[in-house]
Structure 1
Amino acid sequence: MKLGRFNIHQLNGGITNIDGGAMFGVVPKPLWTRKYNVNDKNQIALPTYPILIQTNDKLILIDTGMGNDKLTDKQKRNFGVDYESNIASDLAELNFTLEDIDIVIMTHMHFDHASGLTTKEGDAVFKNATHYIQQDEWHEFQSPNIRSKSTYWEKNNGNFRNRLILFDKEIEVYPGVKVCHTGGHSFGHSIVTIESEGENAVHMGDIMPTNAHTNPLWVTAYDDYPMQSIREKERLTPYFIQHDFWFLFYHDENYFAIKYDKEDKQTIVDSIERK
């Protein structure tokens, strides 16, 4: 898609199939199945699509997908990983390479977002990129607790830390591209706003992982701080809708980008579907 001077691309980072009850928390199944497909194992397809922002002089990547050769057979089975990352080949179609990425933004460090950061040997996949991570998120990644150790994986650590910048509340990584701490899904979870020539987009990360999660009360069972997710969505989602933002999705199986109606905030008025 075109956003002002920027081109924004969706890159295929691999796919998971996750229990629908976990992705919709306390929302009853008869409600969420009206909005999202479910298979006979009660799983929903949850692809990972890193977002590439192409400016006139930089390539900026938001999150990194499932990576390659990082998961054991058991992990692939448990997380329903049908295929792994195609980022390198998707970049090649755009005449870019992994080495051309200048900036990597991490919304958070859960395995389905961070496995593509490193090779299985721990080498940085995007070796020339500066990596931006919220400070609390980084420290929990380094020392996860009894709950978070199931998703903050040591094998996703590596020498990308040599090109790492930590931030607290907000940072502008490039003119018009800001990363803002929200918490909620994880303590250090962040969202990304993009502005160019008066056009705007937001990536809400995993506090709004799919179009079906537009309702502030619909949060995942994976959210460590669900009331914080609700608080942020309750405030931010109406603001972004009223100011005509595109919403960009990392996980939605159907949509790459959506604009919502300013009156009925769950009605889609424009969209770009998955490729």
Structure 2
Amino acid sequence: SQFGGLASLAGINLGGGGSNQTIIAKEVLQSRAFLTKFFHRHDMEIPLMAVEGWNKKSEEWTYDRDKYNPDKGEWLFDSDGETYKPTDWDMVEAFREDHFSVSEAKDTGMITVSVKHYSPVMAQQWAEKLVQDINEHMRKQDVEEAEARIAYLEQKLDETNIAGMQQVFYQLIENETRTVMLANAQKEYVFKTVDPAVVAEEKAEPKRALICVIATLLGGMLGVFIVFIRAFIRSGRAPSPESSGTPSPAAE
């Protein structure tokens, strides 16, 4: 637009920047700072670090009682007196490694957020909250930045008496005000949910069919290996003709 050059000099982007915003949001979603706040906001310490199973019938967690006492709600100590209570670093590492992944389809650009947990209900809730929180985080950030730019432009507007410059500032303020309005009006600000998270009815892992196949293959290989070993041992024990008790004819 006619105001694009001045806006660029002022460090203001008049374009949508949708693709860049999505890339930034994807990286923020996986960042240590965002995940740490996410854990504390949703009280994830216990279900993330103290749970080791899920009772489907009673719909209750199974706790690792060597590390956590659910009856008293206390973390235990190891033999050296160190607490098993996880740090923020521990929780981020565990979540990234065992529970959370973000993938992007190269052909469509669609982003998939996957969450695993012993409790399928908990996995579904975490997945939904991750998308909700990253949308709210990016919305809040953009609104705060736009409001800061509006304040800056209004200050510059008060400092000039040139009609042409005033028109430019009014246009820039209008654009930033539109940004704030649209951000507050959109429920799904960056990521729009195409396929909502659902409670899984089947275990994601361990894959029992794969385990059975691997176990069968390993069992067969082990059986063949044992047969070869036994055959080798027997061949080593078999007496040779030279060491047998058969007398050889004496030379005359």
Query: Which of 1 and 2 has greater Rg?
Result: 2
Higher strand share: 1
Q: What is the TM-score with the length of structure 2 in the denominator?
A: 0.26
TM-score scaled by length of structure 1 = 0.24
Q: Give the helix-richer structure, 1 or 2.
A: 2
